[in-house]
Amino acid sequence: MGAKKETVVVSVRLDSKVKTEMQEVCEELGLTMAGAFQMFAKAVARGRCIPLDLDLNRRPQVTYAAIDLEEKDG
């Protein structure tokens, strides 16, 4: 068996509206807030930057091929 990793508690103060909105986004993504913060922390530590991009607002990318098909159909 592997050694048990030591964990610590990190406290974060958030505006109540931001917390509620974050909880809603996390739920839609199938995450808990704690899980989202852990993912964020691991990504920052690994990449030494802020690389996380989880965006529910992202629209599908329109390609030239899709535009070309649309023009042929219309």
pLDDT digits (tens, 9 = 90+) for 7-54: 999 999 999 999 999 999 999 999 999 999 998 899 899 999 887 666
**Separation between Cα atoms, residue 40 and residue 42, nearest integer Å:** 6
Residue type, 8: V
Sign of CA dihedral 35, 15, 17, 57: negative
| Dihedral over alpha carbons 60, 65, 69, 74 (to 10 degrees) | 70
The pTM (predicted TM-score) of the whole model is: 0.63
**Separation between Cα atoms, residue 71 and residue 66, nearest integer Å:** 9
Would you state the structure tokens that stand for residue 64, as one six-digit string? 């030239």
